Amino acid sequence: MEKIILKDSAYSIKKGTILGIKQMTESEKLFEIALEGGKRLDHEPGQFVMVSVFGAGEIPISVSSSPANNDSFDLCVRAAGKVTNTLHKLKAGDMIGIRGPFGKGFPIGILKGNDLLIIACGLGLAPLRSLIRFVFDKRQDFGKIHILYGCRNSANMLFLDEIKEWRKRNDVYFESIVDQATPDWAGKVGLVTTLIPGIQIDPDRTFVALVGPPAVYKPAIKELLSRNVPERQILISLERHMKCGVGKCGHCQIQHLYCCQDGPVFNYEAIKHLKEAF
């Protein structure tokens, strides 16, 4: 057997340094990463990267920052399994590996000039933050912006500092809701879908970016369709456990589609007939 080093392997990693770590909730941390040699990640909002924690393994994580920031990027990670728990133990200065970005993100070219309704449920805010930050970076390119954020309870809320800023802005309508009210919560209680009937949107020129756990998609899409939002203007990001990221390993397959290459962002019209989508 002869061993050779591959220069152009799909499995080559770029070295990333953890610049900073912010504890967001009990189980989620925000990692700021810089690639070696000042390389740009060059991602679209909604794309994901494969993150290597050496010795533990590699996992797909959505990018949480705007592509307008060239120097570093953010990953919001919940400690859920072996790799994420190990990642949570790393500290600033530690190295991780990055492959990607992979897949199709939110179609910025199509979204520009239109109104946006961004609906985040739970950890769904992590990928949507890349879109939200990008839209704020290029605010004049977009019409009306609505952001609806639903969470299990107030202790699970992500990006609290930023949410405070979003609430203050007069060029965005922001509303949040929790499933379970705790004494510190003075806001609305219920599912994020219950906020949809109350908002003022022009369905013809509104594109919806909807990300959350699989269970939220059916009720949310039903509400959106009842508000006459066209199916192809409903954009959702599907979660799968990608292993390769390059459309080979089969783990992310949704019938004939590979979530890692054909998604993770899909428009509802394109996947509504797929039985295994969510």
Partner 1 sequence: MQDKQYAILWKENFNNFISSLSKLHKLAAPVFKGYNNYAFENVRSGQEIALKYIPTILPPKKFFMPVHETLLEYDFSRGLKADAVTEYEEIILFGVHTCDIAGIQCLNMVFSEHPQDQNYLIHSQNIKIIGLECNEYCDEFANCHLMNTHLPDGGYDIFFTDLGDYFIVHINTQAGEDIIKDTGFFMSAQSSHLNELASYREKKQAIFKNELPVELDLIHDLFDRSFESRIWDDLDERCLACGNCTNVCPTCYCFDIRDEINLHLTAGKRYRVWDSCQLGPFAKVAGGKNFRTTRKVRQRHRYYRKFRYPMDRFSRYFCTGCGRCSRSCMAGIRLKETLKSLIGSKEGAKA
Site for partner 1, rule CB under 8 A: 1-13, 15, 52, 54-59, 78, 80-81, 84, 95, 97, 213-214, 239-241, 243-244, 246-251, 253-256, 275-276
Nearest distance from C-beta of residue 160 to partner 1, angstroms: 22
**Least gap, CB of 76 to partner 1 (angstroms):** 13
Residue 7 or 91 having the CB closest to partner 1: 7
Residue nearer to partner 1 on the CB measure, 188 or 251: 251
Q: Is 1 helix (H, G, I), strand (E, B) or coil?
A: coil
> Considering beta carbons, is residue 68 or 92 the nearer one to partner 1?
92
Cβ 253 to partner 1 shortest distance, Å: 8
**203's tokens:** 């369905």
CB of 64 to partner 1, least distance (A): 16
Nearest distance in Å: CB 228, partner 1: 30
CA distance 265 to 267: 7
Residue 26 Ramachandran class (φ > 0 left, ψ -120 to 50 alpha, else beta): alpha
Cis, bond preceding 101 (omega within 30 deg of 0)? yes
Q: Nearer to partner 1 by C-beta: 2 or 161?
A: 2
Minimal distance, residue 10 CB to partner 1, in Å: 5
Q: How far is CA 60 from CA 72, 146, 163, 240, 242, in A?
A: 18, 28, 25, 9, 6
User: Given the complex with partner 1, which of 94 and 175 has the nearer CB atom?
Assistant: 94
CA distances from 253 to 119, 123, 220, 242, 257 (A): 25, 22, 23, 9, 6
**Backbone angle region of 122, left / alpha / beta, with phi > 0 → left and psi within -120 to 50 → alpha:** left
Sequence-separated (6 or more) residues with CB below 8 Å from residue 193? 150, 216, 219, 220, 222, 223
Q: Pick the closer one to partner 1 by CB: 190 or 214.
A: 214
